[in-house]
């Protein structure tokens, strides 16, 4: 039986008076990839931003309901701790432009004022870059700026930066939408490898990507959870007409 690491209970989110998520209850299985699918503007990014409390950084944003990480409500924990345990990688690669590759990887420690010995930092940098399948490509350039890397490498650097904090869950918000097919394939391979040690929540509007690499799929439409289940089942015998229409490309 798979264990649930993260779950939402009646999660609703607002921007001012506008309700963008409507009472979503969803469980995420540990060491699996769960894809969040849906057309643009249906609330996918807002949903995952609520999971690690990024949503509250927006003026006028508020959340109702609960998000539980191993049974503990993340809204009763310190937000910096939540974001360490639930890491996030965004759509556009965003390495810190003034920092070297090395410093980018351990940026989370600096931002949280966590002191590391040189040997510890070296170990974290090497380990995280290896996990992000980037070490062999950059090991001789660790003190060059992160921005000199290609787009796909920059995105893997951002994944390494998130992994350096040893998160239990990794949120990926359309991580390949700005990348070419070759770089996309590398990141997809990487997700397969990463789920052995970390639970992945992937927002994507790429239906092919969800079918290739996710174990579970949730379909959101207009802020509601329409359907959720094992990916193969959702893709082959969707229960809801709207899911079926989305998957065959009637809207999106």
Q: What is the CATH number of the domain that holds 50?
A: 3.40.50.300
Give me the domain span that covers residue 235: 4-94+167-247
The CA distance from 147 to 132, in Å, is 17
Position 21 scores a pLDDT of 97
Answer whether 39's CB lies under 8 Å from 224's CB. Answer: no
Q: Token match 């290609």: residue?
A: 150
Residue 213, both tokens: 């690499």
Instruction: Place 239 in a pLDDT band, splitting at 50, 70 and 90.
Output: very high
H/E segment holding residue 28: strand 18-29
- Please write the tens of the pLDDT for every residue from 154-197: 999 999 999 999 999 999 999 999 899 999 999 999 999 999 99
Average pLDDT rounded to a whole number, residues 94-115: 94
- Does residue 1 surpass a pLDDT of 70? no
- Please write the tens of the pLDDT for every residue from 117-161: 999 999 999 999 999 999 999 999 999 999 999 999 999 999 999
Position 23 scores a pLDDT of 98
Average pLDDT rounded to a whole number, residues 52-58: 93
Considering the domain boundaries, does residue 130 fall inside one? Answer: no
The CA distance from 23 to 28, in Å, is 16
Average pLDDT rounded to a whole number, residues 99-122: 95
Between 178 and 234, whose confidence is greater? Answer: 234
Beta bridge partners of 145: 100
- Does residue 216 surpass a pLDDT of 70? yes
Considering the domain boundaries, does residue 112 fall inside one? Answer: no
The packing angle between helices 181-194 and 151-163, to 10°, is 20
Considering the domain boundaries, does residue 146 fall inside one? Answer: no
Instruction: Place 17 in a pLDDT band, splitting at 50, 70 and 90.
Output: very high
Residue 89, both tokens: 């990688």
Contacts of 18 (CB under 8 A, 6+ apart): none
Considering the domain boundaries, does residue 162 fall inside one? Answer: no
Position 192 scores a pLDDT of 94
Average pLDDT rounded to a whole number, residues 81-98: 94
How many distinct structural domains can be found in the chain? 1
Burial category of 7 from C-beta neighbours within 10 Å (exposed 0-12, middle 13-18, buried 19 and up): middle
Considering the domain boundaries, does residue 58 fall inside one? Answer: yes
Considering the domain boundaries, does residue 50 fall inside one? Answer: yes
pTM of the model: 0.95
Closest CA to 146 of 208, 111, 99: 99
Considering the domain boundaries, does residue 155 fall inside one? Answer: no
- Please write the tens of the pLDDT for every residue from 33-45: 999 999 988 899 9
Position 252 scores a pLDDT of 64
Considering the domain boundaries, does residue 133 fall inside one? Answer: no
């Amino acid at each position: 039986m798979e264990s649930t690491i993260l779950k939402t209970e009646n999660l609703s989110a607002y921007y001012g008076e506008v309700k963008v998520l409507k009472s979503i209850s969803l469980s995420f299985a540990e060491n699996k990839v769960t894809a969040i699918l849906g057309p643009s503007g249906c609330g996918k990014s807002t949903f995952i931003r609520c999971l690690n409390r990024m949503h509250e950084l927006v003026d006028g944003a508020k959340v109702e309901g609960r998000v539980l990480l191993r049974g503990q409500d993340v809204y009763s924990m310190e937000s910096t701790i939540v974001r360490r345990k639930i890491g996030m990688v965004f759509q556009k690669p965003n390495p810190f432009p003034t920092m070297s590759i090395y410093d980018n990887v351990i940026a989370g420690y600096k931002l949280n004022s966590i002191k590391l010995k040189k040997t510890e930092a070296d170990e974290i940098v090497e380990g995280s870059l290896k996990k992000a399948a980037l070490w062999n490509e950059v090991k001789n350039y660790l003190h060059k700026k992160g921005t000199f890397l290609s787009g796909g490498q920059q995105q893997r650097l951002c994944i390494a930066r998130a992994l350096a904090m040893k998160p239990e869950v990794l949120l990926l918000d359309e991580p390949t939408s700005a990348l070419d097919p070759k770089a996309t394939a590398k990141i997809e391979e990487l997700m397969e490898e990463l789920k052995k040690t970390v639970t992945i929540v992937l927002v994507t509007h790429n239906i092919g990507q969800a079918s290739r690499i996710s174990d579970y799929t949730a379909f959101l439409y207009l802020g509601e959870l329409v359907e959720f289940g094992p990916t193969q089942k959702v893709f082959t015998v969707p229960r809801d007409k709207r899911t079926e229409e989305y998957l065959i490309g009637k809207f999106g």
